[in-house]
Structure formats: structure tokens, C-alpha cells
A and B are shown apart, each in its own frame.
Chain A
Amino acid sequence: EAQVTQNPRYLITVTGKKLTVTCSQNMNHEYMSWYRQDPGLGLRQIYYSMNVEVTDKGDVPEGYKVSRKEKRNFPLILESPSPNQTSLYFCASSLFGTGAYEQYFGPGTRLTVT
């Protein structure tokens, strides 16, 4: 089944403890992206990648890192999480590196930082 998977789905952690949220897609998509969704603020893009080893900042990149060493994986790294990073996170992918056409989303990761 064609899909975008994220792990973990739920995570409660403490301030400053490094964590990684994994994202993987099995559709051979070139473009991948991370969003966060907060009440009243809608979807905001954190980082995106147009292909392997090509990443760039979105609208809210502060406090996050990403890497794209393989086409299928696009992990989101929080080196020192803070409470303001408590949010619902979505990974998305799209066939072409430009991000054009439809994007397919993972199920989401609900992160709570205390």
C-alpha cells in the first residue's frame, strides 16, 4: 500500500531531551516536507526537501533539523525540545521534486514537551 508513515505517533518528553521523529514514504517521491499544526494557526511548513541531500527551510524552522540521506526517509530532529514545540506534526511527500501536484500526508505525530 502506498503510504507515508511516521513514528512515533504520540510522544511525551521533557525539555532539552533530544528526539527524532521518523518519516518514510514508499512511493519513490522526490519531494518531502514537514509541517506542524497548531490550533488557530493552521499548517505551517518547517522544512522541505526537493531530493536526496537537498533540504531547505520552511516558514518555522527554528529549533528543528532535518536530513535527507535516502529518498524514502526524511527524519525531523529536535535537538533540544522546548514546550513551544508541543504540536501535531505531519510529514508529506509529493512525486516531483518541485512539490507540484498533490501531496500525501502521514498520520501525524502528537508531541508534548513538558
Chain B
Amino acid sequence: DAKTTQPTSMDCAEGRAANLPCNHSTISGNEYVYWYRQIHSQGPQYIIHGLKNNETNEMASLIITEDRKSSTLILPHATLRDTAVYYCIVRSDFDTGANSKLTFGKGITLSVRP
């Protein structure tokens, strides 16, 4: 997997948008950007992924820059339940077998305050 860098932590007010940045300057052409989150000691949860176009689902939006070297996960209306560690990873659909494992870095801790 290509290396990603994320800030260590950030916070936002409940009801406001949370914008979580991720840098992946060495991403290759066939690698997707994935976001997962882990609420304390619960199972990691898939959020969204994208290749180069912006993506939106019921949980979040993913904005990928045109050069694909960075991206932003947007939680449009953060709630207290969104407090978690968010992991940005890049991986290719060709990462099969032993390379299919997920490797999380340190992630960014999002704290949503009332």
C-alpha cells in the first residue's frame, strides 16, 4: 500500500461538517483511496472509497484532488457518535491474496464536541 499521512487529531462541533484530510503523494494509477473508522474497540467500519472522482454515500463524501495526491473525507453533519479514529488507506484492486490485508496507520482521531 502507498503511504498515507494524516494529522494526529482534530475536533469539530456537533452538527458542523468535519473535514478530514489525507495525503497520499505516492499513489499509483490503479490505487483507490479508502476510508475506514474505528469507534473505540469496536470493529473497523468501511466508510467510502474512490479512484479519482468525488464520491458520496449515506455516511460521507470523499473529495479527491485532480492530481490524486490528497483527499478529504467530509462528514456533513457530525454527531457525537462520529467520534472515532479515521483511517485513510490506499490499495489496489490487484492487491490479492496476502496483499489483500488491510494495514491501518495511526489514523486521525476525530473528537466531536457537544
Q: Which residues of A contact B (CB under 8 A)?
A: 4, 31, 33, 35, 42-43, 45, 48, 50, 56, 58-59, 88, 90, 92, 94, 98-108, 110
Q: B106 contacts which chain A residues (CB < 8 A)? A: 42
Which of these, A50, A92, A106, contacts B97 with CB under 8 Å?
A50
With both chains docked as a complex, state the minimum distance between the C-beta of A69 and any C-beta of chain B, in angstroms. Answer: 21
Enumerate the 4 nearest inter-chain pairs by beta-carbon distance, A residue then B residue, closest first. A99-B100, A105-B43, A98-B96, A45-B101
User: Which B residue sits closest to A46, measured CB to CB?
Assistant: B101
A100 with B95, Cβ < 8 A, contacts A43-B104, A45-B101 known: yes
Q: B49 contacts which chain A residues (CB < 8 A)? A: 101-102
User: A43 CA to B87 CA in the complex, in Å?
Assistant: 12
Q: Which residues of B contact A (CB under 8 A)?
A: 34, 41-46, 49, 93-98, 100-106
9 contacts between A and B (CB under 8 A): A48-B100, A56-B98, A58-B98, A59-B101, A92-B102, A98-B96, A101-B93, A102-B34, A103-B102
Which of these, B41, B93, B103, contacts A100 with CB under 8 Å?
B93
| In contact, B46 and A33 (Cβ under 8 angstroms) | no
Q: Main SS of the interface on chain B?
A: loop
A48 with B93, Cβ < 8 A, contacts A90-B44, A102-B49 known: no
User: A33 CA to B94 CA in the complex, in Å?
Assistant: 17
Q: B95 contacts which chain A residues (CB < 8 A)? A: 98-100
A100 with B96, Cβ < 8 A, contacts A88-B41, A105-B45, A108-B42 known: yes
| In contact, B104 and A31 (Cβ under 8 angstroms) | no
Q: A105 contacts which chain B residues (CB < 8 A)? A: 43-45
User: A43 CA to B103 CA in the complex, in Å?
Assistant: 7
Q: A59 contacts which chain B residues (CB < 8 A)? A: 101
